[in-house]
């Protein structure tokens, strides 16, 4: 049974995070919000609350949520790719839609790598990689204090010993990790490119950077390449790119996997 079959409305965009559902309801259907929430709870029996989704905003990329129906508690526990994540959906950023990309990236990590995750949030990349690669060292940096608290708790819940959690602006940690990382993961599509020049100092020669970007959907490769080129002083090669989602009519989110070369060509 689908929400559309129960309500008769074209509602298809919702996320399930633990026992919470977060649904996008266009303005014209707002007066049917409670019916939509009840339909979601009928289809997904574990759901105890349904919230209405607003766009993410601010430097912590948090969504303001409105309770439509059920328990107002916004803390929950979810699972993805075999790890457990505790979070408050109203106070931190977390998107289950990125879980497949996290798995793809974690599968490309090799034994013994040093992995740097700025914009680490509650730890989904850092913890998954640390769990899958016990010989890797993972450092995650996050600015939102609430997210950092959950990140630390999630490290303990998942019993990973090879993750270091750092709180603060990632730019304040760059000088502590010069030429340290084999891999840098930058999941901040709104302005990751603005951090590239500084963060490239953390990567070693031939390190891999996964750069999340909003790009023009009519020329994602050209737009992505230009954004990277203008913000990095090293030679680089684009190894691959993946489309993650449509963001607006003309903008899509992509992740670019790039390799940077620090040694001069002889």
Ligand X SMILES: C[S@@+](CC[C@H](N)C(=O)[O-])C[C@H]1O[C@@H](n2cnc3c(N)ncnc32)[C@H](O)[C@@H]1O
Question: Is 144 a binder of ligand X (CB under 6 A)?
Answer: yes
Question: Is 75 a binder of ligand X (CB under 6 A)?
Answer: no
Question: Is 51 a binder of ligand X (CB under 6 A)?
Answer: no
Tokens at residue 149, please?
Answer: 């608290």
Question: Is 187 a binder of ligand X (CB under 6 A)?
Answer: yes
State in angstroms the smallest separation of the CB of 185 from ligand X. 8
Question: Is 124 a binder of ligand X (CB under 6 A)?
Answer: yes
Which has the closest alpha carbon to 79: 132, 19, 156? 19
Which has the closest alpha carbon to 256: 180, 186, 198? 186
Question: Is 121 a binder of ligand X (CB under 6 A)?
Answer: yes
Judged by CB, which is closer to ligand X: 59, or 75?
59
Residue nearest to ligand X (CB): 121
> Which long-range CB contacts under 8 A does 128-133 form with residues at least 24 apart?
128/80, 128/81, 128/82, 128/83, 128/102, 128/103, 129/105, 130/155, 130/158, 130/160, 130/161, 130/162, 130/163, 131/82, 131/83, 131/158, 131/160, 132/106, 132/107, 133/106, 133/109
State in angstroms the smallest separation of the CB of 129 from ligand X. 12
Judged by CB, which is closer to ligand X: 69, or 150?
150
> What residues make contact with ligand X under the rule CB under 6 A?
59-61, 93-94, 98, 118-121, 124-125, 141-144, 147, 169-170, 187-188
């Amino acid at each position: 049974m689908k929400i559309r079959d129960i309500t008769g409305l074209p509602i298809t965009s919702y996320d399930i995070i633990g026992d919470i559902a977060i649904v996008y309801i266009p303005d014209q259907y707002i007066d049917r919000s409670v019916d939509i929430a009840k339909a979601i709870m009928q289809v997904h029996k574990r759901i105890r609350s349904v919230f209405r989704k607003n766009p993410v905003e601010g430097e912590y990329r948090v969504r303001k949520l409105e309770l439509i129906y059920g328990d107002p508690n916004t803390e929950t526990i979810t699972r993805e790719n075999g790890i457990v994540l505790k979070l408050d959906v109203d106070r931190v950023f977390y998107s289950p839609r990125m879980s497949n990309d996290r798995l793809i990236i974690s599968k490309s990590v090799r034994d013994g790598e040093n992995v740097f995750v700025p914009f680490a949030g509650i730890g989904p990349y850092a913890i998954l990689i640390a769990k899958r690669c016990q010989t890797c060292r993972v450092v995650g940096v996050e600015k939102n204090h609430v997210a950092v608290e959950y990140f630390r708790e999630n490290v303990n819940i998942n019993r990973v010993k090879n993750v270091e959690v750092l709180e603060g602006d990632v730019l304040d940690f760059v000088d502590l990790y010069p030429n340290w990382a084999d891999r840098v993961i930058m999941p901040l599509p709104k302005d990751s490119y603005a951090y590239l020049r500084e963060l490239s100092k953390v990567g070693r020669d031939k390190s891999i950077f996964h750069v999340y970007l909003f790009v023009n959907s009519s020329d994602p490769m050209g737009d992505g390449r230009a954004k990277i080129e203008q913000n990095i002083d090293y030679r680089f090669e684009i190894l691959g790119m993946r489309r993650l989602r449509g963001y607006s009519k003309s903008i899509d989110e992509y992740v670019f996997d790039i390799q940077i070369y620090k040694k001069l060509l002889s």
